[in-house]
Amino acid sequence: MSATDPQSAFTFLSQGALIQEFTVAGLNIVQSFPEAKFYKTHNDVYLGETIGRTTNRVKGAKIENLNGRTYELAVNDGDNPNSLHGGARGWGKQDFEGPQPVNRNGKEGVQFRYLSKDGEEAYPGTVECFVWYTAGMEDGKTVLEVEYQVELVGDECEESVVGVTNHSYFQVNPGAPTTEGTVVTLGTDNYLELDAHQVPTGNITLFPSIPPAGVSFTLGPTEPTIDDCFVIDTAAPTSCPLDTRNLPVHMLAIISHPNTGLHLEIHSTEPAFQFYTGDGLYIPEAETDDGVKIPSRGKRSGIAIEPSRYVNCAGREDWRGMCRLRKGELWGARSVYRAWKE
């Protein structure tokens, strides 16, 4: 899909409705594989995937007091006893219907659809997910808008929990082994304090090792190390609507690199975002059908910026209003990615 500039284009795959290419000035700024098959065999790190039915971690891989019962989820968070990114085979590992060309809000786009059945990864209720990608050029910038919608369409239960985001790893110095030298500006320095198992304690405080919001910092070879949920809206547990698409977008993060002049801004209607410097990232080497070898990629070779609700909102009853989906309701979110080369 083109953004109307021949040097700017996008490629999406039906597996996970994932982003394979995000091309700006002829350069792909997401970590990717050249062939679709590798996303099924070499992608334990969720490259480009649409994450669901929930995002990030669910504490103890358990949801209590939903439909009057407890749901035991897959434990798949390394040494932590949590469920991560929707389970062992979340939506990023599933094949969506699409891409179907559409014109949405006056822009060229594609649509993906996925029907997640009751009991998939132990989540209750059959839900229907739509993902829309639309592309365009604005003031010389390549713009990708991502929109999600989820509805509880089955009659198996009265309520479920939902969270959807994209898990691309961005590299605005394409071809470099790491993101060292990337300049980062975050839209907030509030974050969810974590316990020993990477789950929020409930406290929102200032992140300790970066400058205040709006002040840029540069990624070094090993520091800072970040894998945390930053909070845009500290009142979200009581004020965040289930469908945020009609809210104004807020700047989450801006990243750039002086070697390339590439810039990426990420804005979203979501109240929080995970920022991950990729310190545990490993993408194994691969070989294409015509014998081209793709080298492995290691830690800090990409940055994940994942717009979302609060981590573990599905597992906490006092935060569950952000993600509880009942019959007749829609869960929705919208994010905007703007990229350009100076």
Cα torsion 215, 299, 312, 153: sign: positive
- CA-to-CA distance for 33 and 28, rounded, in angstroms? 11
DSSP code, position 96: P
Q: Which of 162, 74, 171 is nearest to 116 (CA)?
A: 162
- Residue 161 pairs with which residues in a beta bridge? 324
Residue 109 phi/psi, 5-degree rounding, is -160, 180
pLDDT at res. 258: 98
Q: What share of the chain is helix, strand, coil (3-state, %, to 5)?
A: 5, 45, 50
What burial letters (b/e) apply to 179-207, b meaning 16+ CB within 10 Å? bebbebbbbbbbbbebeeebbbeeebeeb
Q: Quick: pLDDT tens for 32-84.
A: 999 999 999 999 999 999 999 999 999 999 999 999 999 999 999 999 999 99
Q: Which of 50, 47, 31 is nearest to 39 (CA)?
A: 47
pLDDT at res. 8: 72
pLDDT at res. 142: 96
Ranges of residues in the chain with a pLDDT under 70 are 2, 4, 6
What's the whole-model pTM score?
0.97
